[in-house]
Amino acid sequence: MTDISRRALLAGAAAALPFASAFGAEEPKAPGLNAHAKLKGMFYGAAVSGDALANDAALMEHVFAESGMVVSENAFKWSDIHPEAEKYDFSGADALMKWAGAHRIPVRGHTLVWHEANPAWLEPALSKTTAEKILRDHIKTVVGRYAGKLVHWDVVNEVIHEEDHKPLALRDTPWFRALGPAYIDIAFNATAAADPNALRVINEFGVDYGIDWQMRKRDQLLALCADLLHRKVPVQAVGLQAHLDAGEIAIDQKGLARFVADIASLGLKIIVTEFDVRDQSLPASVAARDTAIAAHGRAWLDAVLPNPAVLGVLSWGLSDRASWLNTKFPRPDGLSQRPLPLDAELNRKKLWSAMAASFDTVPPHGPQKS
Ligand code: XIL
């Protein structure tokens, strides 16, 4: 971790008493999730949407109280930041940087290469002769603009998809079709050149459960990381999205811990990047859902967090008032899902307590380098 980001982390935690009035008349709330994580040398943070940033001051106050890092849900993706071939739009990304700067909270960047959230112009523009320059220019422009200001970059996102039957189980994407596996090398090298100090992350989902395809995917991700490192591609960390499902089978804590240890043994750090716990296959009862979600999330965190290579946890949003899961995996009964630490009224839920308890019970991690 750079001195600047360490100072920002400390300042963020020290100032996190937003509920005390100017005259100290109100009791401050109990310490936020980041304060719990920080005691163990980790951080907690949350994804923030452009809508929350612009329109939901109450939610943002809670983001400030709970978080030691933020990430934009969409503003750094190609569709938002590079909407036309010759036009960048930094307004959404800059708005988050401004808020985070004012609140002295470090920001991570998400994401430079993904097969989703791409503007209409991009795919037709990619060919064997054009793709490398388009990718390098984008990374130079975007990473360069925020160089020294972002603590991490998700350089590539969700690149494994064995059903596509490509080498290294890589996903068949427009980038792959134009450049083959080399697009990953290009992306990491260009990011390192544009901002040597932001931690470079390969971000992936679907490695959370001891079911066949996910166990294979764990091995595929490890093999890909080993291959990249062997070829001196400058990947530094694995991002585990951790979009969990409380209706899924129990967490295979031993297998999951071994997987995390295998990542660490490659010399890579681990960041939990998009933690949430969906409940669309559970009955309606709020109390029962909240209990199951908390237990499920706790089991996953308890298996992963003890590894000293884990730097921290971000959830994909903070409050149930806004989660992507209600669009992506709507409940059949139309009720809202309850995947995040705070409920829609911004009260701490059982999942909040489970996360805090998981931070509280892990052994302290050593001094961090990010
Ligand atoms: C999601 C956002 O939350 C939504 O607002 C958007 O419509 C689609 O993308 N994995 C990722 C994230 O890496 O970027 C996705 O975010 C959720 C799944």
- Ligand 1 pocket check for 76: Cβ under 6 Å: no
pLDDT of residue 367: 62
pLDDT more than 70, % of the chain? 91
Reported as a single tens digit per residue, the pLDDT across 90-108 is 999 999 999 999 999 999 9
Give all domains of the chain, ordered by start, each with its CATH number: 3-361 (3.20.20.80)
pLDDT (tens digit, 9 = 90+) per residue, 166-222? 999 999 999 999 999 999 999 999 999 999 999 999 999 999 999 999 999 999 999
* For range 127-151, the mean pLDDT: 98
Does 157 sit in the ligand 1 pocket, CB within 6 Å?
Answer: yes
Predicted confidence band at 29 (pLDDT cuts at 50, 70, 90)?
Answer: confident
How far from 273 is each of 111, 200, 224, 259, CA to CA, in Å?
12, 13, 19, 16
pLDDT digits (tens, 9 = 90+) for 269-289: 999 999 999 999 999 999 999
User: Three-class SS of residue 319?
Assistant: strand
pLDDT at 215: 98
Q: Residue 324: CB within 6 Å of ligand 1?
A: yes
- pLDDT mean over 352-369: 89
Residue among 48, 49, 73 to mutate when testing ligand 1 (max atoms within 8 A of CB): 73
The secondary structure element, H or E, covering residue 333 is none
Average pLDDT over residues 73-96: 98
Ligand 1 atom at minimal distance to the Cα of residue 77: 14
CA 219/CA 225 separation, integer angstroms? 10
pLDDT higher than 90, residue 251: yes
Q: How far is residue 236 from each of residues 155, 275, 344, 368, measured CA to CA in Å?
A: 10, 20, 36, 13
Nearest to 296 by CA among 362, 342, 250: 250
For residue 141, what pLDDT is reported? 98
- What does the pLDDT read at residue 26? 47
- How many CB atoms sit inside 10 A of residue 337's CB? 23
pLDDT at 248: 85
* Residue among 316, 320, 337 whose CB has most ligand 1 atoms within 8 A, to mutate: 316
The pLDDT of residue 13 is above 60 = no
Tell me which H or E stretch contains 236: none
